[in-house]
Chain A
Amino acid sequence: DAGVIQSPRHEVTEMGQEVTLRCKPISGHNSLFWYRQTMMRGLELLIYFNNNVPIDDSGMPEDRFSAKMPNASFSTLKIQPSEPRDSAVYFCASSPGVTNEKLFFGSGTQLSVL
């Protein structure tokens, strides 16, 4: 299995632009998670889905952030409009169960908002 696939690996954009991050979970996994990693705040859970349904989005920082999972093999995290403080590494992870156990992380998207 190729593991969790994220794209792009790096994204550099200007403040105010829309940013879309993409994720393909491991086939057969029921749950998908979006995390953000910064030096200041560490690893933060933004949102997670179970069977394509959003379960907990309490970590989404603002209305500028939105996430979708239209089917079992694809999810997006969108930031519109982007701000410099959104600069971070964004990870997607999937797990075979319905809980947060045994997460498999992708390689992340390094986002820089200038």
Chain B
Amino acid sequence: GENVEQHPSTLSVQEGDSAVIKCTYSDSASNYFPWYKQELGKGPQLIIDIRSNVGEKKDQRIAVTLNKTAKHFSLHITETQPEDSAVYFCASLTGGGNKLTFGTGTQLKVEL
């Protein structure tokens, strides 16, 4: 089955700096890659997603890139703010849309 690896497990940045979280997947049939943000005591919330026919997608301060050949995708957050502090999960969806496999999560801390 699909295997999604996520790095780093923890990331600490200064307010205003950029943060990058990287994921790799194993199933070449995967075609949808969402990113979720989970704040303490809450459920994950979808923040951005990308499909396999697109290389990059941007939404204000966040962007996601996808390299299908290398089976890599990354989340980029620019101008980080304290409210960006949370756990971020990448995920991949295999063809047929039956199973979403999550990465292990990255604890992002934005320090003042």
**Chain A residues at the B interface, C-beta cutoff of 8 Å:** 4, 42-43, 45, 55-56, 91, 93, 97-108
Contacts and interface: CB of A to CB of B under 8 A. Distances in A.
A33 to B, nearest CB: 8
Say what secondary structure dominates the interface of chain A. Answer: loop
Contacts, number: 52
B44 A43 contact: yes
Interface in B75-102: 89, 93, 96-100, 102
A97 B98 CA distance: 11
A102 B34 contact: yes
9 contacts: A43-B44, A45-B99, A55-B98, A91-B44, A101-B34, A103-B34, A103-B100, A107-B43, A108-B42
Given A99-B93, A100-B97, A42 B104 contact: yes
Given A101-B49, A102-B49, A107 B97 contact: no
Interface string B5-34: 000000000000000000000000000101
Contacts of B96: 99
Contact of A105 (B43, B49, B103, B104): B43
Contacts of A99: 32, 93, 96-98
Nearest to B45: A105
B93 A100 contact: yes
A45 B100 contact: yes
Most chain A CB atoms below 10 A, which of B32, B43, B97, B100: B43
A56 B1 CA distance: 15
Contacts of B105: 42
A56 B98 contact: yes
Contacts of A100: 93, 97-100
Contacts of A101: 32, 34, 49, 93, 97
